[in-house]
Amino acid sequence: MEINKYGVDFEKINSKLQDVPNLSPNHELNAPGKSFGGMLKEAVDEVNAYQKSTEQVMADMATGQIKDLHQAAIVIGKAENSMKLMLEVRNKAISAYKELIKTQI
């Protein structure tokens, strides 16, 4: 059974893990060239790519061009989960912003 056929890209996961900051006391947390805005933009672009691939799969299903419905279901599930995660991140960011606004100075 091959895991890569389910769309798991271990090289991409390992490269993302390399970006996780080292939380040791003497380590600089802000890696050069990596900003929060840049990482957020990458995440939004990735969710957008999943959504576009889902649209293509749905069109292929409607026209009968797709042969493997399981792969289509996996692509649709990835897009759904990535969108749910992005919405939760957005909700947490809005909640944190509202808490900051309430803070008395």
How many folded domains does the chain comprise? 1
Evaluate whether residue 1 is within a structural domain.
no
Q: Is residue 2 part of a domain?
A: no
Q: Cα–Cα distances in Å, from 28 out to 36, 45, 104?
A: 15, 27, 30
Residues 6+ apart with CB under 8 A from 37: none
Q: Is 70 a member of any domain? A: yes
55 is a domain residue = yes
For the full predicted model, state whether its pTM sits above 0.75. Answer: no
What is the Cα–Cα distance from 30 to 58, expressed in whole angstroms?
41
pLDDT digits over 7-46, tens only? Answer: 556 566 666 656 655 555 555 555 566 787 888 888 889 9
Q: Which domain holds residue 46?
A: 7-102
Which tokens in the block code for residue 79? 């897009």
84 part of a folded domain: yes
